[in-house]
Amino acid sequence: MREGSGEKNAMRLAEMWRNSCATPWKATNELGRLGCLPLIRLYFALHGVRWRSGWYVYGRPLIQRHSGSSITIGDGFWMRNWFSSSPLGVRHRCVLATWSRAARIEIGNDVGMSGATICAQTRISVGDRVAIGNNTTITDTDFHPLDPEVRRVDSLAAASEEVVVEDDCFIGMDALILKGTRIGRGAVVGAGSVVSGVIPSRAVVAGNPARVIREL
């Protein structure tokens, strides 16, 4: 456990209690989270994902871990899977999936995600203090070959290339992060963007395909 994490968690609980007095739906979500906590922790354990300090998981995600692959998540993790757990509405529960024995999903400290999907064929790395907006998808594979002749021979022989999201990034809702993407530290991805390639640090990108629209 990190130094000071107990005090940090106590402060979070106090703040959540104050908020619940003005926002009763948050209190309902919190009671539901606490009631489901033993089963949620068991679900993560059964899928080989270690539970860490300061996690707030609202509802059960979908975890599909290939034998031999790894999914690691740091402290202070927030995951929203219930529709009511986000004011923007969660269309489906979060998905953490590894599609090969060598695949790795690495999520840092103080990361939050709502109804998001992370699917790795090789490696997806998410740094510290990253906010992943509602219903975002991050994947390092095309899933199927683009060439129709190749698809007929092997429909799963898709191209894959690791994805890296550096520290302090903010990814807006409904974004799609494609294979080979590297998002620099502190960058912002606009809602609904389709991102591929290298995004500079502290850049704001938006669109399909995403383009830099300003610098922070």
Give 114-153 pLDDT, tens digit per residue: 999 999 999 999 999 999 999 999 999 987 767 677 666 6
Give the model confidence (pLDDT) of 190-212 as tens digits. Answer: 999 999 999 999 999 999 999 99
Taking Cα atoms as reference points, which of 91, 85, 93 lies closest to residue 174? 91
Give the Cα separation of 61 and 72 in Å (integer): 15
Closest to 106 in 3D by CA, of 139, 58, 155, 72: 72
5-215 CATH fold: UDP N-Acetylglucosamine Acyltransferase; domain 1 (2.160.10)
pLDDT in tens, 158-187: 778 999 999 999 999 999 999 999 999 999
Spatial contact of 188 and 205, defined as CB atoms under 8 Å apart? yes
Q: Which of 47, 66, 92, 144 is catalytic?
A: 144
**Would residue 144 show up in a list of annotated catalytic residues for this protein?**
yes
Which H or E element spans position 167? none
CB atoms within 10 A of CB 117: 20
- What sign results for the dihedral spanned by CA atoms 36, 49, 75, 164? negative
Report how far residue 165's alpha carbon sits from residue 107's, in angstroms, rounded to the nearest whole number: 9
pTM over the 0.75 mark: yes
Other C-beta atoms closer than 10 Å to the C-beta of 96 total 24
